[in-house]
């Protein structure tokens, strides 16, 4: 421990400004929120990790490299073939199977992540979870690999053990509308506060590959034969109820644009029928999604599920990568997003409904100050989600706080979520948010814009309170 | 006074960076501009406040809460009904009439404004105008209310007294083209430097509710019977002359987009006639506004009135709020704005006219560095207005200075304006601008990018000089 | 020398943060890269300056004022006629010919450049190249002019002497596809590492004035009679080979938008034939450029020339200025740019080609974090060019680093280039970049986000290595 303090790779002041008065206030604020339980209202942890007490994370390559699209995209951008990183191909072409080699390749290129959140996360995980206080690099990759392999085989590094150690108060997964949620039942029965989130994109986006098959599964799961738009809505309502019985408090919806617009009964019926016959056009799909967002907003007003909108990702931008490796390989790319006019039809119907809460996520930072903060600072139903994806980073968070708080305050924000499938990175991501937000508040304090007492309350809200209230987690979960 | 200094709610260093060398330079610069007279070339103060020597501000709720759309929107976004804040309904439904309760409700929710300019303004107004050195909150709301009531009844807290105390060198109101400006005459006769601003939106935007009635009033006011587009332009010219006789130096024009485009004589005549018959379409209105902006630019070149363009607000975004409460309730929302191509038709005609000055205001910060600074740094007629509306804030000002000065310098800026209907907030808003711009210049000094002597001159220009020259206030006014 | 150090106009710490710990780290990093040779992979230096050993820069007005569009635009925006600055008119109208007066006029208005990169560059050039340690102003303009005239006549201030003194390792010019490059041959024979860059815009953009004449010159230069689209491509390939024999490693392409899209064989043939007959429409031109960008990407994959895209400038926005003075007078204006969807057709074809490298430049800072960093952080062929044009500035660089590194790292960046026709400003511009990037890295170090060792390597990459590898300069040049 003493030697660790002598050679820390990670500074205890990391993310804080160097100016002594600000750093001091930041540290005071941070010390009060550092150990608060983690509220994880949106993420992509695989429930299988937690359903089986014997589950393990696998090799260091499986834990850190192969499933992480941040890592894959950076290495790929610098000419490292994804095959050489063990990413399975759709056609079964052979890929690297030696995980020690994959890890070495990652370490050889770890310099690429200097100045990126991935660099920070990985280094912090190695240190704070595995006690490895060295900078990962070409030379020590093998030794670190061996140590990680050893640790990962131990019960105290099992997903369930880390879940306890991470002090997670609640964790929400993201699940298809057709998911029976049996794993969630098991996990909950074993005392873990894990909740599902209703994400119906695969049955709502008419151009999803396999949509018709998804609809058949929806019929099966709901027990309602989906034969037209009316039964489709019924089946969705049934699934929402099922999700609620398993503790869901939220839904999630992704779309490339924020377009919303009500369709007439005939029109939406016709589109749905065309889709059932496999004849829906891209424009049909776009308009149907725009209509369904309004339908879902009404359902949320009725059943109380918080509605999340993740807008602006152009999925599978690289057709070669998609054809060879499939989804989530780092080839989803942001595009400019318009909110003010696109959301208007939805808000016209439900923008003032006190029962409803809609959380907005953007990949277009220029919309923070121009559209999102003004919208959330007026409409009772709107909250802003935290910086998303590429913006889950020190500068991303500072940009967000700089651009939204003056107009929307902090009480129209949804707190933090880690939005990750990389389970081991959860506490690190929350820690970065807590550090950055405390440092940001400290700047406000030393500039005389808020006082320390206010900053303390704001820090606790940003670290913990806002996520809990926004997502309607009430009472104890574990 | 001693105890006030011991427990100041507001730091004398507020808005300054904590780094000691920068803070010191900021303070030196600020101490030289702090007490300069206020130039207020654009705002929405009600002239009735100043026309009658006996006028008073009313209750603390009437002064601070009920007319302030920044406050209304934040409280509304957090579920506080506007009825409970005493905002009058259009249909006369009863609203809260107990102003003490309204004030208490505001104080109960004052924590929502932490980190917002409203929070800063209100706290500063309470302290610097009313000598209240406590943080407003649930407990002390009643006592503060009582104290304010007492003070507001005193002659030294009358609008005219505060006008003198604020050291306002010139204040411009914003007035309909049809306004007879009788109040301005009275105010001026009593020695107050208050000037009108010609804002013809209500007769130019064909889709304004009550447009035909407005045209009738225009005929009445101008003495020119408006029967077609030619007489319409004549009447507008007459009104501009009238405004000039009352000291106007500027016009103001608001539009959702920056579209400009000349219409042929037949076309604009036809559109105007359709409008007179109540048959103008939305597209007619859009194109007519785009044409009229060019007409007004020519008129300004001729009569010397500075032309202000406020672009990008989607008015009355929330139909429920509009139907129940009307305009200016915090439900106007910004949208993305394009300048480079939209302004081109106007600039093609008058962009190099040495007689003309056009001041541009945006709600889209992404256009500062991309379009506005490059435009203003080339076209002789263009000046950039200060950060507007949601951006009249510490971060908003810093973002503006960061993004425009490197390309446009400071001499293509229009200085500051408070743009407020909240009279008591005028000195506070100028003070924030003076503090932030001095701190920004201090950063330039301590980073060796400009020297102190230059910074001193720039500070005075930003605080005072640029507004005075841009708006062509020459000679003494009071 | 001693007195110079007592009264430095330029601080040795300029561009660095004032906070002592960050400043110290910045200085350490900077001291290691300050004297690295200059890699200048993109710029507009006139090869005639270097082809003749006897060439001189002319008067101070010719060196600093008359050809500098940054300076012309600022002075013009403040009402200084370009005629009074000696800018030649197209119709031969008389302009100021007394260069001493032009210099005085510039000095009289030098206060306009406070806080701008031009202000910094000019002051630094006067000091570091000419040893003039005074702030340029109205009073000392004449004396400084005389001193400059004297120095500029000396051999040690000739372009070739300064080239050696500046420690330029390689300098690329930008040249028309039709250029015979004879000057480059001469320059290289005399031992100067100057390379051409292939910029075919004048024969590719069908709406270029004089396009047909340019095509004729292309036939002449290539020896391939251009009679249709096939022979056009052949001629372009021939020219690329010629450029390569003279050391070119890159091409450059400018377009108002990033639109790319393949045209069918018949369609592009028809468009080209219409153009030959002088009948191409604006839409023809737009689509042909979008197609040709894809063709050029394929050619680059084949012949290894790095492809540069400069997107988003609306050229000659001010028709009066264009008609009177021609191009490059500061009247080119940026517009919003969309990359994610526009580049997709090009990337679909060659985005994963390991032979290809495409460097993107934008005038729309909002695309850094939203589109460019995510694109470059995934596609192997993409690199981001440094902050361009209006953004070649302290804040412009900080904004760029803040917004791209977290997503793309630094190894997807193309390093720095000065992009200037103002030869004397080359070392100053590199110096600003080196200072700002070292200060930026220092902030990362003192905030504990990277360690000093990493920062040192990153500083060297940003200052030198990335430009060298991106542009494929291998081995010694001089």
pLDDT in tens, C311-347: 999 999 999 999 999 999 999 999 999 999 999 999 9
Which residues on A lie below 8 Å from C21 (Cβ)?
18
Which residues on B lie below 8 Å from A410 (Cβ)?
114-115
Rounded to whole angstroms, the Cα distance separating C370 from A363 reads 6
Q: How many CB atoms lie within 10 A of CB C44?
A: 18
**Helices A282-303 and A265-276: crossing angle, nearest 10°?**
120
Q: Is there a contact between C371 and A333 if contact means CB atoms under 8 Å apart?
A: yes
Number of residue pairs across A and C with CB atoms under 8 Å? 134
Does CATH place domain A159-470 in 3.40.190.10?
Answer: no
- What per-residue confidence (pLDDT) applies to B2? 36
By CA distance, what is A440's nearest residue in B?
Answer: B115
The yes-or-no verdict on residue C5 having pLDDT over 50 is: no
Q: Are A328 and A76 in contact (CB under 8 A)?
A: no
As a whole number, the mean pLDDT across chain B is: 96
As given in the structure block, the two tokens for residue B473 are 């206030």
- What per-residue confidence (pLDDT) applies to A451? 95
Q: Are C372 and C352 in contact (CB under 8 A)?
A: no
Sheet with C194-195, edge to edge strand ranges: C38-40, C168-172, C194-195
Rounded to whole angstroms, the Cα distance separating C315 from C330 reads 9
- What per-residue confidence (pLDDT) applies to B10? 80
- What per-residue confidence (pLDDT) applies to A8? 55
The pLDDT-based confidence of C478 (bands split at 50, 70, 90) is very low
Domain boundaries defined on chain C: 2-55+157-470, 56-156
Mean pLDDT, rounded, for C258-283 = 97
Q: Is A32 exposed, middle or buried (0-12, 13-18, 19+ CB in 10 A)?
A: middle
The pLDDT-based confidence of C348 (bands split at 50, 70, 90) is very high
Which residues on C lie below 8 Å from B408 (Cβ)?
74, 77
If one compares A8 and C397, the residue with the highest pLDDT of the two is C397
Mean pLDDT, rounded, for C171-179 = 98
Q: How many CB atoms lie within 10 A of CB A307?
A: 23
Rounded to whole angstroms, the Cα distance separating C194 from C51 reads 10
CA C88 to chain B, closest CA, distance in angstroms equals 18
Task: Tally the residues of chain A.
Answer: 478
Q: How many CB atoms lie within 10 A of CB B337?
A: 23
Which residues on A lie below 8 Å from C348 (Cβ)?
319
**What percentage of residues in chain C have a pLDDT greater than 90?**
96
Q: Is there a contact between C14 and B347 if contact means CB atoms under 8 Å apart?
A: no
Mean pLDDT, rounded, for B219-243 = 98
As given in the structure block, the two tokens for residue C110 are 């030098």
> In which residue ranges of chain A is pLDDT below 70?
1-9, 475-478
E strand or H helix that includes residue B6: helix B2-6
Please give the DSSP secondary-structure letter assigned to residue B426.
H
Q: How many CB atoms lie within 10 A of CB B190?
A: 13
- What per-residue confidence (pLDDT) applies to C291? 98
- What per-residue confidence (pLDDT) applies to C475? 54
Q: How far is CA A141 from CA A148, B3, B382, B431, C366, in A?
A: 10, 62, 59, 57, 38
As given in the structure block, the two tokens for residue A31 are 């010390």
Sign of CA dihedral C289, C290, C295, C297: positive
Q: Is C48 exposed, middle or buried (0-12, 13-18, 19+ CB in 10 A)?
A: exposed
Q: Does B336 touch chain A (CB under 8 A)?
A: yes
Residue A250's nearest CA partner among A41, A394, A435 is A41
Q: Are B120 and B433 in contact (CB under 8 A)?
A: no
Q: Is there a contact between C335 and B402 if contact means CB atoms under 8 Å apart?
A: no
Task: Tally the residues of chain B.
Answer: 478
By CA distance, what is A398's nearest residue in C?
Answer: C402
As given in the structure block, the two tokens for residue A114 are 């200097």
Q: Which long-range contacts (CB under 8 A, 24 or more apart) does C30-35 make?
A: C30/C434, C30/C435, C30/C438, C30/C439, C30/C459, C32/C456, C32/C459, C32/C460, C33/C434, C33/C438, C33/C459, C33/C460, C33/C462, C33/C463, C33/C464, C34/C431, C34/C434, C35/C167
**Helices C229-245 and C265-276: crossing angle, nearest 10°?**
80
Q: Is there a contact between C74 and B454 if contact means CB atoms under 8 Å apart?
A: no
Buried b / exposed e along B269-288 (16+ C-beta atoms within 10 A): eebbeebbeeebeeebbbbb
Q: How far is CA A429 from CA A35, A173, A434, in A?
A: 14, 16, 9
Rounded to whole angstroms, the Cα distance separating B162 from A277 reads 73
Provide ipTM, 2 decimals: 0.96
Q: How far is CA A353 from CA A305, B84, B315, in A?
A: 13, 17, 21
Q: Does A408 touch chain C (CB under 8 A)?
A: no
Distance between first and last Cα of chain C:
32
Q: Is there a contact between B115 and A410 if contact means CB atoms under 8 Å apart?
A: yes
Quote the distance between the C-alpha of residue C316 and its chain's center.
Answer: 18
How many CA atoms, within 13 angstroms, populate the side-chain half-sphere of residue A427?
Answer: 22
CATH superfamily for domain C2-55+157-470? Metal-dependent hydrolases (3.20.20.140)
Residue A58's nearest CA partner among A160, A180, A148, A187 is A148
Backbone angles phi, psi at C314, to 5 degrees: -90, 105
Residue B424's nearest CA partner among B112, B132, B180, B60 is B60
Angle at A328 between CA A323 and CA A331, to 5 degrees: 70
- What per-residue confidence (pLDDT) applies to C12? 87
pLDDT tens track for B327-351: 999 999 999 999 999 999 999 999 9
* Fold observed for domain B2-56+158-470: TIM Barrel (3.20.20)
Q: Are B366 and C338 in contact (CB under 8 A)?
A: no
Mean pLDDT, rounded, for B266-273 = 97
Residue B342 CB contacts under 8 Å (≥ 6 apart), including other chains:
B257, B258, B259, B260
How many CA atoms, within 13 angstroms, populate the side-chain half-sphere of residue B190?
Answer: 16
Q: How far is CA A251 from CA A298, A300, A313, A344, B343, in A?
A: 12, 8, 18, 20, 43
- What per-residue confidence (pLDDT) applies to A1? 33
Which residues on B lie below 8 Å from A338 (Cβ)?
335-336
Q: Are C377 and A118 in contact (CB under 8 A)?
A: no
Mean pLDDT, rounded, for B180-209 = 97
Q: How many CB atoms lie within 10 A of CB A208?
A: 14
The beta-carbon neighbor of C314 closest among B340, B448, B454 is B340
Mean pLDDT, rounded, for B240-249 = 98
pLDDT tens track for C421-448: 999 999 999 999 999 999 999 999 999 9
Q: Determine which of B334, B369, B393, B438 to mutate to test the interface with A (most A C-beta atoms within 10 Å).
A: B334
Rounded to whole angstroms, the Cα distance separating B435 from B459 reads 10
- Secondary structure of residue B402 in the 3-state scheme: helix
What are chain A's partners, defined as 3 or more CB pairs within 8 angstroms? B, C
Q: Is A283 exposed, middle or buried (0-12, 13-18, 19+ CB in 10 A)?
A: exposed
The yes-or-no verdict on residue B419 having pLDDT over 60 is: yes
- What per-residue confidence (pLDDT) applies to A475? 54
Q: Does C355 touch chain A (CB under 8 A)?
A: no
The pLDDT-based confidence of C165 (bands split at 50, 70, 90) is very high
CA C112 to chain B, closest CA, distance in angstroms equals 6
Residue A32 CB contacts under 8 Å (≥ 6 apart), including other chains:
A456, A459, A460
Q: Determine which of A315, A333, A400 to mutate to test the interface with C (most C C-beta atoms within 10 Å).
A: A333
- What per-residue confidence (pLDDT) applies to B11? 86
* Fold observed for domain B57-157: uronate isomerase, domain 2, chain A (1.10.2020)
pLDDT tens track for B208-220: 989 999 999 999 9
Residue B328 CB contacts under 8 Å (≥ 6 apart), including other chains:
B69
CATH of domain C56-156: 1.10.2020.10
Rounded to whole angstroms, the Cα distance separating C185 from C398 reads 38
The pLDDT-based confidence of C11 (bands split at 50, 70, 90) is confident
- Secondary structure of residue C2 in the 3-state scheme: helix
Q: Are C170 and C40 in contact (CB under 8 A)?
A: yes
Residue C337's nearest CA partner among A425, A381, B371, B306 is B371
If one compares A452 and B9, the residue with the highest pLDDT of the two is A452
As given in the structure block, the two tokens for residue A400 are 């967000």
Rounded to whole angstroms, the Cα distance separating A287 from A206 reads 10
- What per-residue confidence (pLDDT) applies to B475? 54
Rounded to whole angstroms, the Cα distance separating A157 from A99 reads 19
Q: Are B15 and B432 in contact (CB under 8 A)?
A: yes
CA-based max dimension of chain B: 73
Q: Which residue has the tokens 């000019």?
A: C122
Residue A13 CB contacts under 8 Å (≥ 6 apart), including other chains:
A23, A27, C447, C448
As given in the structure block, the two tokens for residue B456 are 């001193």
């Amino acid at each position: 421990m003493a030697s660790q303090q002598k050679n820390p790779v990670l500074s205890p002041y990391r993310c804080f400004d160097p100016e002594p008065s600000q750093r001091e206030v930041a540290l005071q604020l941070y010390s009060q929120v550092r150990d608060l339980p983690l509220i994880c209202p949106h993420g992509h942890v695989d429930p299988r990790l937690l359903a089986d007490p014997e589950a393990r994370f696998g090799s260091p390559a499986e834990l850190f490299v192969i499933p992480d699209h941040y890592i894959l995209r950076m290495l790929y951008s610098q000419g490292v073939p994804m095959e050489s990183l063990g990413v399975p191909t759709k056609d079964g072409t052979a890929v690297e199977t030696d995980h020690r080699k994959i890890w070495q390749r990652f370490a050889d290129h770890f310099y690429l992540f200097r100045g990126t959140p991935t660099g920070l996360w990985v280094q912090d995980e190695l240190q704070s979870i595995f006690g490895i206080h060295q900078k990962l690099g070409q030379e020590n990759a093998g030794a670190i690999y061996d140590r990680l392999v050893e640790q990962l085989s131990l019960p105290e590094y099992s997903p369930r053990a880390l879940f306890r150690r991470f002090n997670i108060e609640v964790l929400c997964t993201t699940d298809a509308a057709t998911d029976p949620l049996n794993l969630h039942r098991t996990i909950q029965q074993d005392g873990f506060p894990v909740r599902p989130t209703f994400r119906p994109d695969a049955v709502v986006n008419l151009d999803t590959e396999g949509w018709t098959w998804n609809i058949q599964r929806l019929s099966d799961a709901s027990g309602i034969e989906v034969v037209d738009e009316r039964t489709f809505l019924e089946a969705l309502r049934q699934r929402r109820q099922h999700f609620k019985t398993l503790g869901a408090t939220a839904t999630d919806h992704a779309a490339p644009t924020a377009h919303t617009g009500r369709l007439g009964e005939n029109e939406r019926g016709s589109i749905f029928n065309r889709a059932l016959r496999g004849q829906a056009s891209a424009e049909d799909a776009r308009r149907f999604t725009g209509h369904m967002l309004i339908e879902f907003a009404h359902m949320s007003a009725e059943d109380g599920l918080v509605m999340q909108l993740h807008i602006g990702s152009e999925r599978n931008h690289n057709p070669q990568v998609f054809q060879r490796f499939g989804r989530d390989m780092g080839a989803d790319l942001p595009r400019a997003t318009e909110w003010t006019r696109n959301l208007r039809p939805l808000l016209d119907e439900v923008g003032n409904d006190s029962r409803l809460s809609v959380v907005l996520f953007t990949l277009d930072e220029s919309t923070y100050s121009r559209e999102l903060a003004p919208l959330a600072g007026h409409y009772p139903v709107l909250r802003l989600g935290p910086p998303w994806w590429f913006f889950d980073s020190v500068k991303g968070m500072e940009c967000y706080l700089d651009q939204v708080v003056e107009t929307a305050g902090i009480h129209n924000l949804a707190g933090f979520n880690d939005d990750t499938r990389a389970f081991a990175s959860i506490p690190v991501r929350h820690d970065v948010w807590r550090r950055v937000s405390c440092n940001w508040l400290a700047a406000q304090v030393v500039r005389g814009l808020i006082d320390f007492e206010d900053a303390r309350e704001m820090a606790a809200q940003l670290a913990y309170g806002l996520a809990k209230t926004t997502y309607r987690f009430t009472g104890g979960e574990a």
